[in-house]
Every structure is written in C-alpha cells, then in structure tokens.
C-alpha cells in the first residue's frame, strides 16, 4: 500500500491512529449492491445503486477495478486496528486471575465516653460502616488503593474534625483520629394563659412529671416553664378564691415547645376570719399570721383588731407574735388557734397578751414610754400581799405639788427625766411596780426585789430615821426615796407625796436608776462614775456591772459596785422572795 495511506501507528499502548481516506473529487465511488464478482482477465461491468441517491447506474469496467481496490483498502484499514486492539486486550486480561492487594484505615475517637459505640462511615472507592469499640477505636480493612472520606457520628456528640479525607496508596493508613464533644441536651418550654386575668394574675402554676417546678402567672395570667427535656408533664394552677377548668392538664414535650396549655379561673364564694388582741394598746401592732388553705400576714389595728377577708372554705391556723427589738417579752394566750371556714364568716378568734418588761439598753431613744401605754400594758393581777398599801396605791397627785430638790437641776439630763415623773397609775402593788418598770425600761423583777430590800413592800415604811425623828427627814415609800438628811437638807425631795403615793415612789426609783444607767450624772468629775463614762465602765466590766452599781446608787448615793446592798438585792431576786409563802 502507498506510504501514509494507512496512517501511522503510534507507540502508545492500546492506541491506534485511524487512517484518513482521501478521495479525489469529482470521482464518485459506488458500493456494490450485491456480492463482489471478479473474473480474471474479464471485466464485465455491473449495475450498482448509488448509496447517496438510491439510483441505479452502470459502472464501467475500469471503474469497477478501481472500486475493488478501494474497498479492499477500506476493509484492511478498519480491520487491522481492531485485530491489533483485540490482541492487546487479550494480553492485558491474561493477568486477571492474580489476587489484588488490600489495606486498612484505622483511628480513635476520644474521649472514650463519646467514642464508645460511635458509628463511623467510610465512603469513596468503597463504602462501609463500623462501630467504634468501648475505647473509641475503629478500623476498616480490605480496602484497595484510592481516596476515602471518614465520618463519625454519635447521638449527643459533635466531632472535630467533622470528617477526614484519606488516600490509601500501597500501605495502611493509621491515626485518623477524632475528638468527641458532648452536646448540651436540647430543651423546650411549656406555656399557657389563665383567664380571666383577675383569676390568673398571681396564680401559682405547678409543673410535675419529668421535671418539677413552680412559677407565678404574670399580670395577664400568662405563665411559662423553660429548660424542659422531652417527656410527660402535668400542669396544675392554684389561686386563693378561684377554681380552675380543667383542674390540671397533661402535656408531652417531644422535640418542640408546647403552647396553649390554658386554663379558665372561676371565683369562689369567700369569707372572713376576725378577732381581737387584748389589751388593745398592747395588741396594736401585733403581727397576725394566717396559714392553711390560704396564707397571709397583717398587723392588728390600734384597737388590737384584725380581719382576714376573701378566704375560701378550708382549714386555717391563726398565730400571733410581736416583732419587738426591745427587751419586752410578749406572751400570748393562746399562741395560735385553728379554725375551719364552712361557707360562713368566723369571728371572735381572740388572743390575750401579757408582757414582761426587762432592762432596755442604755440611752434607749423610746424611753420613757407613755403613762397611758404602760397602764394598758400592765398584766391585770388582783393579788395584793400588802392590804395596808391600799390608800397609797390608789392616790395620784398633780405634778405641781412635787417638791424635788432644786439643787439637782445641775444635772440637766436627770432633770429632763425627773420632770416626767408623774405617779399617774393606780392598782395593786405588783401592778404599780410593773407600770414603773415599763415606763423607764428597768427589769420589773429587779424593782420588786429592791422593794423587798427597802420596805418589804410596805409603802408606809420610814427609813433613815433621824434622832429625834423629825417629819420629812429620812426616806419614804416602797423603794425609799430619801427626802432630807438629818440636818434637814434636801436630798431628793418629794415628801410627803412619795410617802402617800406608791406609784410616785416607784416612778421616782425607776427614773433615778434609768438616769444613772444612761450616764446622766457624768460631768468629768470623780463623783459617782469615778471620772469615767458609763461606756468606758461597760467596756471594761460589762453593762450588767453598770446596772447593778446604779441599783446600789439609790441606797448609798455614790458609786460602790459590789457593795453588800447590791448582793442582798440580787439574792432576793434569785429567791423571788415576794412569791414565797408567808411574804
């Protein structure tokens, strides 16, 4: 064949360049429509169909020869590459019976808590899935060379990195590791509205079930519980004086917030509980607490009255107390009372209070208490061991008649207290003592003990008697107010009123003791406090030391801590002599 007619064969394996058949126009070649007929030395000619027009035409003999050559060349051109390609393919496929080598990919997901049981997916040349071991290790085996993507997954965890691309190239691939991070569990909410707002506002809404919680509906009656995991819950509203439809609702949280858990509130019939705390001035300001079906707290009014209204049927407890920061001890009888409302108001739940007055701190601003308050605060006590006191116990003088020592005006703070001495109370001896103790904030049993020491509770006692016995010289009354010394000079004054009025005598003693305890007689000099303030003395010895020195001051007229007089009064107080048989 002519050079270049069949084209050239390249050296690339399995690649053959197809020869290009060049035709010389305008010669038209025909394809024989029937079997090829060749006779040696004879050219008979034939009729062929044109492949382009489908028209039969006569092919000259010389053209037939040329056509046969072309057809042979064409068949050779088409068949030779195919034969060559087939042979090469057969050669390549002759090795398919040999075993192909494979490899593995492995790694670890840490920590083990997130890796254990994680699903690891392989994609790429081959796809597969495996589960990481309890330590988070995983592996894929039997992998041919190629590119792969490793993707871990585990409920409740995220992974870093999210995926990894690896290439197997004639060796195992190790260390394809991941870090697992626990995800915060997804939470949801349950919400609703309690209507109308009058019954919903302030209503308590309780959640129970998969979690427990309590919330308060807002002014519009709306409520919301947040941070809830999937699960079943029960919602229950409550509000004093209302019932609810439905009484409760069951809801299920399942991957989404729950809204519209609504309720309707209906007002109940309501009633009241009322009573009085006596005596009225003491009951005034008392704290009254209601508990039970409903809870509330209020303060008794100036008359000691209290009322709890708007209460539904139910069982309640009323308890009274006094929020004092002073040394007054309030004792209520009874301390509390139980009551049941059954479609009617409850009244007459009354309490009586008794007080014990202790010593109030030095320079207490609320002292002296008023005569009227202390008169109402006295615990009624008809016991009278000294009938001879009756006239003086029931005598009150106007303050204009008092003859106090004018020389004591030097002590201005004491003078301010002395001007408030009134003796404006009548009663039994023990009631008078309590009244004065209340007024000046002196421990009432100490006043009782001092009265035992000074007069054995006989108001008509005349002590510090001079010789000769001159009226007005000496000391008078329950706690012995020293009127004049034996020279006739005024000491405290007050006679004869302090002799004829028990309340005035005790009022003076309590006021004088309080003034000493408050440091009113300090002027920087050596008298009474030995040149120190009561705060300095208390800092070194304590306030009880100061108090008892002031009790002794009324006897000695000067500062003698620890004197036998004080010890005697303390012993009487410890034995409560006034309560002993035969007193």
pLDDT digits (tens, 9 = 90+) for 464-503: 999 999 999 999 999 999 999 999 999 999 999 999 999 9
Residues 558 and 441 in one domain: yes
Mean pLDDT of 446-461: 98
Q: How confident is the model at residue 270 (pLDDT cuts 50, 70, 90)?
A: confident
- Average the pLDDT over each of 42-46, 90-94, 151-155, 506-510 and give the range with the smallest value: 90-94
Asked if residue 491 belongs to a domain, the reply is: yes
Mean pLDDT of 425-433: 98
- DSSP 8-class letter at 258: B
Burial level of 313, CB count in 10 A (0-12/13-18/19+)? middle
Residue 2 has pLDDT above 80, yes or no: no
pLDDT digits (tens, 9 = 90+) for 192-245: 999 999 899 999 999 999 999 999 999 999 999 999 999 999 999 999 878 899
Residues 382 and 529 in one domain: yes
Residue 20: per-residue pLDDT: 42
| DSSP annotation string for 156-198 | TEEEESS-EEEEESSS-B----EEEEEPPPP-EEEEEEEESHH
Residues 246 and 328 in one domain: no
Residue 53 has pLDDT above 50, yes or no: no
pLDDT digits (tens, 9 = 90+) for 288-317: 999 999 999 999 998 999 999 989 899 999
Q: Output 269 or 54, whichever has higher pLDDT.
A: 269
The last residue of one of the domains, among 267, 287, 312, is 267
Residue 366 has pLDDT above 70, yes or no: yes
Mean pLDDT of the chain: 86
Domain that holds residue 389: 371-579
Residues 42 and 69 in one domain: yes
For residue 234, what is the domain's CATH number? Answer: 2.60.40.10
Burial annotation 475-513 (CB, 10 A radius, 16+ → b, else e): bbbbbbbbbbeeeeebbbbbbebbbbbbbbbbbbbbbbb
Residue 61 has pLDDT above 80, yes or no: no
Asked if residue 96 belongs to a domain, the reply is: no
Where would I find the beta strands (DSSP E) of 433-574?
462-463, 474-476, 481-484
Of the segments 25-29, 183-187, 207-211, which one has the largest average pLDDT value? 207-211
Residues 477 and 385 in one domain: yes
Q: Whole-model pTM above 0.85?
A: no
Residues 174 and 193 in one domain: no
Closest CA to 289 of 279, 297, 281, 280: 297
pLDDT digits (tens, 9 = 90+) for 97-125: 457 899 999 999 999 999 999 999 999 99
Residues 449 and 514 in one domain: yes
Mean pLDDT of 334-348: 95
Residue 190: per-residue pLDDT: 97
CA 324 to chain centre: 29
């Amino acid at each position: 064949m002519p050079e270049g007619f069949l084209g050239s064969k390249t050296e690339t394996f399995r690649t053959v360049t197809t020869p290009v058949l060049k035709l010389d126009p305008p010669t038209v070649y025909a394809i024989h429509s029937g079997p090829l007929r060749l006779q040696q030395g004879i050219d008979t000619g034939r009729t062929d169909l044109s492949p382009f027009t489908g028209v039969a035409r006569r092919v000259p003999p010389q053209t037939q020869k040329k056509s046969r050559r072309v057809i042979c060349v064409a068949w050779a051109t088409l068949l030779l590459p195919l034969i060559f390609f087939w042979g090469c393919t057969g050669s390549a496929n002759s090795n398919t019976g040999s075993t192909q080598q494979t490899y593995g990919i492995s790694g670890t997901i840490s920590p083990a808590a997130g890796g254990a049981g994680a699903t690891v997916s392989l994609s790429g040349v081959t796809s597969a899935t495996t589960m990481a071991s309890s330590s988070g290790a995983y592996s894929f085996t039997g992998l041919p060379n190629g590119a792969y993507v490793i993707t871990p997954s585990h409920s409740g965890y995220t992974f870093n990195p999210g995926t990894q691309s690896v290439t197997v190239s004639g060796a195992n691939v190790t260390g394809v590791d991941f870090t697992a991070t626990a995800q915060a569990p997804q939470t949801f909410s349950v919400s609703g509205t309690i209507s109308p707002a009058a019954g919903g506002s302030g209503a308590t809404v309780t959640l129970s079930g998969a979690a427990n919680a309590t919330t308060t509906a807002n002014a519009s009656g709306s409520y919301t519980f947040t941070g809830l995991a999937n699960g079943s819950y029960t919602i229950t509203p409550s509000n004093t004086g209302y019932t609810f439809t439905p009484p409760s609702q069951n809801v299920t949280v399942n991957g989404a917030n729950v809204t519209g858990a609504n309720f309707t509130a209906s007002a109940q019939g309501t009633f009241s509980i009322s009573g009085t705390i006596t005596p009225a001035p003491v009951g005034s300001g008392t704290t009254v607490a209601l508990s039970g079906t409903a809870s509330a707290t209020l303060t008794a009014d100036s008359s000691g009255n209290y009322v709890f209204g708007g209460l539904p049927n139910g069982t309640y407890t009323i308890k009274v107390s006094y929020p004092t920061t002073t040394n007054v001890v309030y004792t209520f009888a009874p301390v509390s009372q139980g009551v049941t409302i059954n479609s009617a108001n409850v009244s007459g739940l009354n309490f009586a209070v008794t007080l014990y007055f202790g010593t109030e701190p030095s320079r207490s601003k609320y002292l002296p208490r008023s005569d009227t308050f202390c008169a109402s605060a006295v615990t009624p006590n008809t016991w009278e061991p000294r009938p001879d006191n009756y006239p003086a116990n029931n005598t009150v003088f106007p303050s204009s008649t008092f003859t106090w020592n004018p020389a004591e005006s030097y002590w201005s703070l004491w003078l301010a207290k002395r001007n408030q001495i009134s003796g404006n109370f009548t009663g039994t001896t023990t009631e008078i003592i309590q009244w004065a103790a209340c007024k000046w904030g002196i421990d009432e049993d100490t006043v009782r003990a001092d009265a035992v020491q000074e007069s054995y509770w006989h108001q008509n006692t005349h002590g510090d008697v001079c010789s000769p016995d001159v009226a007005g010289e000496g000391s008078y009354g329950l706690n012995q107010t020293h009127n004049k010394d034996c020279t006739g000079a005024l000491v405290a004054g007050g006679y004869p009123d302090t002799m004829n009025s028990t309340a005035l005598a005790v009022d003076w003693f309590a006021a004088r003791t309080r003034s000493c305890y408050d440091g009113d007689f300090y002027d920087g000099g050596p008298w009474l406090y030995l040149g120190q303030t009561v705060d300095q003395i208390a800092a070194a010895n304590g306030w009880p030391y100061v108090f008892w020195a002031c009790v002794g001051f009324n006897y000695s007229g000067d500062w003698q801590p620890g004197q036998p007089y004080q010890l005697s009064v303390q012993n009487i107080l410890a034995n409560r002599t006034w309560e002993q048989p035969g007193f």
